[in-house]
Amino acid sequence: MPATHIRLRSFAAALLLGVTAGAVQAEGYPTKPISLIVPFSAGGGVDATARLLTPKLGEILKQPVVIENVAGAAGTIGTQKVARAPADGYTLLFAVASPLNVAPLVAPSAVRYDTFKDFVPVATVGTSPFVLIGKTALPARTAAELIQLAKSQPGKLNFGTDGVGTSLHITAEMFKQRAGIDIVHVPYKSGPQVLTDVAGGQVDLAVLPLTLAQPFIKEGKVRAFGVTSPARSPSAPDIPTLAETPALKDFEMDSWLGVLAPANTPPAVIAAWTAALDATIKDPEIARKLADVAVKPQLIRGPAFGEYLAKERKAIAGVVQTAGIKAE
């Protein structure tokens, strides 16, 4: 047999051996602790949700899943760290829309990754609605009455969010555009500050996470006009959806929470994580704890998660362009 043929067969055998070894390695995953990057500070809503899940995930995967908080720049620093991490399944991202679908539109020069090229969507674990609240002194008691009030005095009412170009800001601008009203944005550095000022009457309105605002709503310190999810939240069934208001039909802007991995992570690793996430959120105790923080368990896996991200990006882009939002 010619030497060339021998070399080609040896190369093909080596290549096949390499592929097989890679598959075996992926199937044996994991063999060491896994780092789950939360791109926000410890103690926040995203971090709290991740910490509810990691003990069960570690139990299923048979290796510790360790949360690493890498905060800064609206979540983009931690997100970039995952985008640059080895695609071996030992560094993953636990994220929400802000760093993946908001920051690239409102602060593109600060983003050093491509959401759709540098990551592979693993699965969502749940959704959590935002809620439109107002100070109790407002004469409006429903979203429809609020829209009428705002139309009767353009530019007089204001609303607070946790900053320019955040998911809360985008949601509030979407409300403005859909309702056809003129209200003024007052950016803050954090959601709790906004909530305190709405309760104190310094700010008229705010869009905040339901889990943050719910205690103040229950105590009557602020008024809830509606949640942003398509259906009422099981944790607050008395609060209507904004979509129940005719002028806001089909309004939807849920906050999702999910896991993504660096691009080119082996399919077997993705499959292992998808199965672990599925089993985790179906655990009755985990589901109960998620409900306590107004998170509805929901697994959107792989390609469907990617399609969800693309659809969300398109919706946010339209709001950003119409409102002229720039965080830079």
- State percent of the chain over pLDDT 90: 81
Instruction: Give the position of tokens 């050093």.
Output: 112
**Per the domain annotation, does 62 fall within a domain?**
yes
Whole-number mean pLDDT of the chain?
91
Q: How confident is the model at residue 254 (pLDDT cuts 50, 70, 90)?
A: confident
Is the pLDDT confidence value at 95 over 90?
yes
Span 33-77, pLDDT tens digits: 999 999 988 887 899 899 999 999 999 999 999 999 999 888 999
The larger pLDDT score, comparing residue 314 to residue 17, is at: 314
Query: What's the confidence (pLDDT) of residue 328?
Result: 60
Same domain (yes/no): 134, 122: no
Query: What's the confidence (pLDDT) of residue 27?
Result: 67
- Measure the CA–CA gap between 189 and 279, rounded to whole angstroms: 36
Task: Indicate the pTM of the whole model.
Answer: 0.83
Of 232, 248, 264, the one marking the end of a domain is 248
Phi and psi at 3, nearest 5°, equal -60, -35
- Measure the CA–CA gap between 183 and 325, rounded to whole angstroms: 15
Same domain (yes/no): 199, 237: yes
| R_g (Cα) of the chain, nearest Å | 23
Is the link from the previous residue into 30 a cis peptide, with omega within 30 of 0?
Answer: yes
**Per the domain annotation, does 149 fall within a domain?**
yes
Of 218, 248, 278, the one marking the end of a domain is 248
Same domain (yes/no): 138, 244: yes
Is the pLDDT confidence value at 16 over 70?
no
What's the CATH code of the domain at 105?
3.40.190.150
Same domain (yes/no): 113, 208: no
Q: With H, G, I as helix, E, B as strand and everything else as coil, classify residue 52.
A: helix
**Per the domain annotation, does 11 fall within a domain?**
no
Is the pLDDT confidence value at 219 over 80?
yes
Structure tokens at 30: 């994991």
Q: What is the DSSP letter of 134?
A: E
Of 210, 229, 248, the one marking the end of a domain is 248
Structure tokens at 312: 């969300």
What are the angstrom distances between the C-alpha of 101 and each of 114, 211, 314? 10, 22, 9
Cβ neighbours for 67, distance < 8 A, ≥ 6 positions apart:
36, 38, 47, 50, 51, 54, 94
Domain of residue 238, residue span:
130-248
Is the pLDDT confidence value at 163 over 80?
yes
The larger pLDDT score, comparing residue 5 to residue 258, is at: 258
H or E, element range at 120 = strand 119-128
Structure tokens at 16: 């096949």
Q: How large is the average pLDDT for residues 316-326?
A: 94
By C-alpha distance, which of 221, 218, 180 is closest to 203? 221
- State percent of the chain over pLDDT 70: 91
Q: How confident is the model at residue 26 (pLDDT cuts 50, 70, 90)?
A: low
Q: How confident is the model at residue 190 (pLDDT cuts 50, 70, 90)?
A: confident
Is the pLDDT confidence value at 25 over 60?
no
